[in-house]
Homo-oligomer: A and B are copies of this chain.
Amino acid sequence: MSILCVGSVALDSVETPSAKAERVLGGSAVFFASAATLFNPVQLVGVVGDDYPLDQLDFLARRGADLSGIEEREGKSFFWAGRYYNNLNSRDTLATELGVFADFQPKIPAQFRDSRYVFLGNIHPQLQHDVLDQVESPEVVACDTMNYWIEGSREPLVSLLERVRILMVNDEEARQLAGEPNLMKAARWIRERGPEIVIVKKGEHGAILFADDWLFFVPGFPLEEVFDPTGAGDAFAGGFMGHLAAAGSLDTADLRRAMVYGSVMGSFAVERFSVDRLIDLPTDAIEARMKQFREMTAFETHAVVEQRV
């Protein structure tokens, strides 16, 4: 079952303390699909200008992405430029040129409307509503958002929560949305407004999944070189949703695995510019990193000898 993904398809220029990339593949839908297609087919919906190097998305098509929902319009593609500092935890936005994305009105192609898995990338909450209006019977709807919408478009965002099963936000966004500094309480506030599952992303500190009566914690993968943090959150979402759709299950064990697959994909994404690390990433490398996550977190509450007593 394909995952319908709606989000930005952009070009990014990124500067880090050690290197620079000009007009490379970016945008939430592109990062999401680059991770998710390693697990499960994806249907992409977005808009690009006539300057977009669509041939560079061929690797997605080869992995089972259906790109027929990417509308090509006259004008410029969404362009973002940013510069990272120090240990890459702070950044300045140097440019945000919306281009044709400014009046993006997602049109879900007829052949995508029976999708049961939907990922709503970080776009205006009203557009996220519009997407869901066009999908016949969405079952697993995951949604990303950001402080900009929490501040400026609170009403459609809060009403969207009723239609969303999984909300993914970072810790500051969760606190801001709920108006509550304690993360546990903030997650409960959000869950009471709709989502069964709230995933709070904490960057290098990992991510927490909050469900009804349980939670699951996955650490960030400790890397000696974080090359470019752009897109890590969307790659996380791609690994997470990719696993869920492939497993066809939202049971506890699969939600836990999905969290780790998400963290695995986020950790790969930051190792190179753009989606470069995800293009030829072998399945073996993904599974090997899964095992590293397990080794990093597994413990027995008692020594085996005590258990035998």
Contacts and interface: CB of A to CB of B under 8 A. Distances in A.
A222 B256 CA distance: 17
Contacts of A301: 257, 260, 287, 290-291, 294
Interface string A227-262: 000000000000000000001000001101101100
B297 A217 contact: yes
A254 B297 CA distance: 13
Contact of A217 (B182, B219, B247): B219
Contacts of A225: 182
Interface residues of A, number: 44
B299 A294 contact: yes
A183 interface: yes
A298 B298 CA distance: 6
Interface stretch (A25-33, A54-62, A73-81, A208-216): A208-216
B224 A182 contact: yes
A173 to B, nearest CB: 15
A206 interface: yes
B224 A184 contact: yes
A86 B256 contact: no
Nearest to A204: B183
B216 A296 contact: yes
A299 B204 CA distance: 20
A50 to B, nearest CB: 41
A280 interface: no
A71 to B, nearest CB: 38
Contacts of A259: 299
Contacts of A91: none
Contact of A205 (B205, B254, B294): B205
A219 B206 contact: yes
B222 A208 contact: yes
Contacts of A226: 182
A253 B300 CA distance: 7
13 contacts: A182-B224, A205-B206, A208-B219, A208-B222, A215-B296, A216-B297, A217-B222, A217-B297, A253-B300, A253-B303, A257-B303, A259-B299, A260-B301
The 10 closest A-B pairs by CB, nearest first: A87-B181, A256-B299, A205-B205, A217-B219, A184-B224, A297-B297, A290-B301, A184-B222, A217-B296, A217-B297
